[in-house]
Amino acid sequence: MYGLKSVMGGRSVLSCCSIFLILMGACFAGNFHDDFTVVWSRENVIVDDASRTVKLSMNEVAGASLASSEAFLFGSFSVKLKLIKGDSAGTVCSFYLTSYGSNHDEIDVEFLGNETGQPYVVHTNVFSNGVGGREQRMFLWFDPTESFHTYSVIWNHHQIL
């Protein structure tokens, strides 16, 4: 049971420009390579079958990205994330849930890099039927570089949390 414990009427995609990203949850009973597709930078994707975790890392030229092989309607999606310490301006670590087609729906969660000493910012957006414009920026009240923190999106037919 790897990584994603959910998603929406589309695939879930993770893009990583941070030191580590660990997917948590349990929804898939199969093998990682059956349940996910590495979109880019395969060398930065480390699968640990024993702990059923996936680590995405970053090097000097690239982060990594993976996507679920299946589409889902509702559920919960969680990542355990630790951001880059110090001057991380120009990096973005994100995860998003998306559908494809003319009625594009998407939930974005992006962690923006910063200059040393500045607060870290989480940028979110929701697209419904191809229309976004629901951006929110939140300054974190804790240091997301000190340890891993769990971030989740819960989506059912009534609401998105």
pLDDT (tens, 9 = 90+) of the chain, 161 residues, equals 333 322 233 444 444 333 233 333 344 456 777 888 888 888 888 888 777 778 888 777 888 888 888 877 778 888 888 888 888 877 888 888 888 777 888 888 898 888 877 788 899 988 888 888 888 999 988 989 899 999 888 888 888 88
Phi then psi dihedrals of residue 21, to 5 deg: -140, 130
**158 Ramachandran zone, left/alpha/beta (phi>0; psi -120 to 50):** alpha
Active site residues: 106, 110
Q: How far apart are CA 44 and CA 38, in angstroms?
A: 10
Q: How far apart are CA 24 and CA 8, in angstroms?
A: 17
